[in-house]
Amino acid sequence: MTDDAGSSGEARARATAYVLQRYHLTGLQEARERLTPGQFAGVTRQIDEVEAQLTGRARPAVAALAGDTRGIATPFGRILPATGLLLIIIWLVFALETLQPGGSQDNTILATLGATTPDLLATHQYWRLLTACFLHIGVAHIASNSLALVWLGSLAERFYGPLRFLGIYLAAGVAGNIAATVLEPGLGAGASGAIFGLLGAMLAGSWRNRPIIGAEASRALFGSLVSLLVINIAISFIPGISKFAHFGGLLTGAALALLIPFRSPRYPRAYALAADGVSAILIVAALALGLTYAGVH
């Protein structure tokens, strides 16, 4: 009993020192004085999480997600803020498509609004590599991608956090469109490349971060995602679907997962800041493509 209490007290002290050091605080009293109540509550939650990991009481990541109450509950799963923002933008753009004469399946409308085109590279219309990620061809297309984004997007956002999630999503979407433009020139639109990027990031991330989430949770998460991957690879070969956008996004997401880790207090602060910096650069670079629109108009 005494040993257990001593071990628990030592783990608490180590966890407290670790978290406070990340925020350049010398003690809980200083944290209470310098931080807002909300910030202080966040710090104490992080201390609890680190202590649980040190004492072996941390829940496996997959099981922990089942009890996650963040975000907005829907019949298809919880939607977190960054995922919700992407869904709103996608559906607003789709509404704009459908209001045009010919609707969302008219090639002229799609090209006008920003779908990728065979002459994209020759005409230097690089902004299409980004805008095409937010266009969809028909109700079935946007409905299927929205359902995938609700589940896979919120899953990735929980593990990576909103900044890293958005960096991976946008970079994978752009990379998928580059692959499709080079290897399969034609009219292209949809968020599938970006969503496949999230799938690749979660697959590689479940292996990359196994010391953080635990070997058992890593295997469970990887196994469930492999099943999803097999199904989606089969779908990618259906005529009319851009398999190169899918595979380009998938490989990009997996590669980025080797650089950008899951969020965890167990990673050094400098490493976490570097990962956030890389993610911010990816977001700025993707958005900068949109600004090239001004150069050709």
Catalytic-residue membership of 224: no
Three-state secondary-structure class, residue 79: strand
Residue type, 30: E
What the block records as the tokens of 151 is 């589940």
Residue type, 244: F
Residue with token string 């649980």? 52
Residue 232, H or E segment = helix 215-236
Catalytic-residue membership of 7: no
- Given the residues 136, 141, 218, 246, select the one marked as catalytic: 246
Residue 132, H or E segment = none
Q: Are 177 and 133 in contact (CB under 8 A)?
A: yes
Distance of CA 265 to the CA centre of its chain: 19
- Given the residues 104, 192, 206, 279, select the one marked as catalytic: 192
**What interhelical angle do 215-236 and 192-208 show, nearest 10?**
150
Query: What ranges in 78-161 are assigned the alpha helix state H?
Result: 81-99, 107-113, 128-131, 139-148, 154-160
Three-state secondary-structure class, residue 59: coil
Residue 4, H or E segment = helix 2-22
Burial tier of 21 (Cβ tally within 10 Å: 0-12, 13-18, 19+) = exposed
List active site positions.
192, 246
